[in-house]
Structure 1
């Protein structure tokens, strides 16, 4: 598609797609012509429904900027860095009991649980509620045969169970993001200085927890499978853990957990001599753009020493992923702790199972056979 149909039109489902790096970058950064306010998945855009305020990833400037600045204050580099000892302690607790085993499922033992635990640490979600929220989040974005998700506004965008924890935090403030969201003052789009309403806090927490849980779990799986296919580079990492951040970045480029991102076209636009009419859905093929030979030398080669170039896995422009630093932290710590215990492994590919959703791609089962 990158070479033969740089502007692709899918007639049965009536959407357009771009797959070259420069084209995807243009769509993601032009919020006037390509809006997020109708959703960032094809199904949502096609529903043409009103998106509740506060979803952040489904907003356009200027209101997006107001909400993003509020979250950026509580998603600070300091707060993320302070999580590292807790993240490492959790990894250790998960992996130590597996030492001596000859086989375990990386997704079951780490990928499924760790991201929700870390989001729980950040947000202050009581531990007993984390598993239930994770399962609810994952279930809501599973696709049926044919790859299309079937949802309503109520199904995809609300997690009222989280309201119980928000109410609890109102009564029991702490040093966590949820408390800061409840108490932070900001100037809203009407020029009024206020704090967030309970419903706004609920929406923020839902978006943060859901997004961070699903994508980072997939990253852990992709690190396991990709390094199994490149044992020489894995051996380099095991011998020198300072190379791990570069390896995490290359996995993010080669196997992005979120390979697609969609936008609503607000006005007629021209691509490659063809007109895309206002009201269309435009799919950005992030996974293809990350392997565009116009951007990367030998783009299909996995290389932990590749010079860092801005991949599109965390999106670009106003919607650059606020949780990118947290995802990188989790990926780095997880890979370091795995390599400390098992410098080599194989995957039982016959028992491995992929899971696809409308927005996320990764492993549902990834059994590792340990060397």
Structure 2
């Protein structure tokens, strides 16, 4: 990757990495803090009949999954109830995310249930284990990207870290790891985000054109790697063996590899960006804790974990109920949908004292930011390493890092389903 590709000022950054704009394009932006409203709902009951947007009195203009349209929804807000649902995929299924026009074939990890999900996940999971995150990913992608971005930031006295730092690390990490050229990173993300039904800012014709661009780019990459393998994720997947129950072992098809690649590219290039921003936002708005982290870098990991608990960037996941079941006082029917509140679960006062406070010294308990059970985030180890290396590098290079008092104060924004800071204007020196 050429330095000017990674560090250039590109207008696509402003379009793709603005949390409010992203939520508005999807139609799920909310303009008020609903934290206390959710606390009140949870205090009344851990599970409520209805969509959260209905319960909060928000406009009903958004459907995250087409397969959930027209179904009875239930909102789950306590840690205990969310954990039960996450750990029981036989009843609470990820098939709610499946496009009903596509069906099970051609879908990715997010839409599948065990045992098919487990079989597909095993074809790519070894590359995302912590040992590889700390070795292959750092050497191949993360460290070099961060080094070049720190050098770029050092040319000025102030910066906007959301665009100039947080947005760039994950998208180029994933792009390079897959085997795409650096200058394809933003174009790929732009095309993919504007090829799905979630984007309301483009026409159907534009969606189809963007979808064709995504498929063509990935198909060409897989074809090239079949002819000449390299040290990248696509080449690894070409060599992987899929072991589906009741079927003989076989390689992944081109379609299966491109489906994996799209998931890795979009998830890895999106959620890590917002979560790194959330952790930096939390530290910058809690200067006494930032000072402690600067003085003791062993606290960086604690700061990241507390950021994940305090404000996970993807605070709601959905599940399809597969069979009639009594669930926390509700008689659920097969075909109903659960809205699982990871964010609300992470602030459940029955599990955490002072749940709305950001506290890096909080007793360590598992939080739900990366999910639980079968679908626990595939890329969580890589995301942890990106955030830890990125934050440490910032503090090494700019020990006086602080919010820029002359800029508008940043705040958390977005939709119910994705959160992040409005910006991160800082003084570097």
TM class by shorter chain equals 0.7 to 0.9
Residue in structure 2 matched with residue 221 of structure 1 by the alignment:
277
Residue in structure 1 matched with residue 46 of structure 2 by the alignment:
6
Residue 403 of structure 2, aligned match among 326, 342, 346: 346
Instruction: Give, in whole Å, the separation in 1 of the partners of 2:161 and 2:109.
Output: 31
TM-score (norm 1): 0.88
Residue in structure 1 matched with residue 260 of structure 2 by the alignment:
204
Per-residue deviation, 1:110 = 1.3
Residue in structure 1 matched with residue 152 of structure 2 by the alignment:
97
Per-residue deviation, 1:176 = 1.9
5+ residue gaps, structure 2: 1-40, 55-59, 61-71
1:290 paired to 2:330? no
Q: Report which stretch shifted further, 1-10 or 356-365.
A: 356-365
Per-residue deviation, 1:70 = 1.5
Residue 123 of structure 1, aligned match among 178, 181, 200: 178
Residue in structure 1 matched with residue 247 of structure 2 by the alignment:
191
2:193, 2:199 within 8 Å by CA — same for their partners in 1? no
Distance 1:196 1:302, change over 3 A: same
Distance 1:60 1:154, change over 3 A: farther
1:218, 1:257 within 8 Å by CA — same for their partners in 2? yes
Per-residue deviation, 1:137 = 3.8
Residue 295 of structure 2, aligned match among 212, 217, 239: 239
1:365 paired to 2:405? no
5+ residue gaps, structure 1: 146-150
Per-residue deviation, 1:317 = 0.6
Instruction: Give, in whole Å, the separation in 2 of the partners of 1:6 and 1:66.
Output: 33
1:54, 1:204 within 8 Å by CA — same for their partners in 2? no
The alignment partner of 1:315 has SS state of: coil
Instruction: Give, in whole Å, the separation in 2 of the partners of 1:61 and 1:153.
Output: 31
Residue 30 of structure 1, aligned match among 49, 74, 88: 88
The alignment partner of 2:149 has SS state of: helix
TM-score (norm 2): 0.77
Residue 250 of structure 1, aligned match among 302, 306, 330: 306
2:93, 2:320 within 8 Å by CA — same for their partners in 1? yes
Distance 1:273 1:193, change over 3 A: closer
Per-residue deviation, 1:308 = 2.0
Distance 1:48 1:185, change over 3 A: closer
Distance 1:71 1:300, change over 3 A: same
The alignment partner of 2:96 has SS state of: coil
Residue in structure 2 matched with residue 133 of structure 1 by the alignment:
188
Residue 238 of structure 2, aligned match among 182, 197, 201: 182
- Give CA-to-partner distance per residue, 1:139-171, whole Å, 9 cap, x none: 4576659xxxxx999988993032221222122
Residue in structure 2 matched with residue 84 of structure 1 by the alignment:
138
Greater share of residues in helix:
2
Instruction: Give, in whole Å, the separation in 2 of the partners of 1:73 and 1:182.
Output: 14
Residue 19 of structure 1, aligned match among 77, 102, 110: 77
RMSD over equivalenced CA pairs, Å: 2.8
Runs of at least 4 residues of structure 1 off by over 6 A? Answer: 151-158
Instruction: Give, in whole Å, the separation in 2 of the partners of 1:52 and 1:351.
Output: 47
Instruction: Give, in whole Å, the separation in 1 of the partners of 2:357 and 2:118.
Output: 37
Q: Report which stretch shifted further, 305-314 or 341-350.
A: 341-350
- Give CA-to-partner distance per residue, 1:230-255, whole Å, 9 cap, x none: 10010111112121111111111111
The alignment partner of 1:322 has SS state of: coil
2:370, 2:380 within 8 Å by CA — same for their partners in 1? yes
Residue 65 of structure 1, aligned match among 90, 93, 118: 118
Instruction: Give, in whole Å, the separation in 2 of the partners of 1:242 and 1:168.
Output: 43
Q: Report which stretch shifted further, 70-79 or 162-171.
A: 70-79
Distance 1:58 1:334, change over 3 A: same
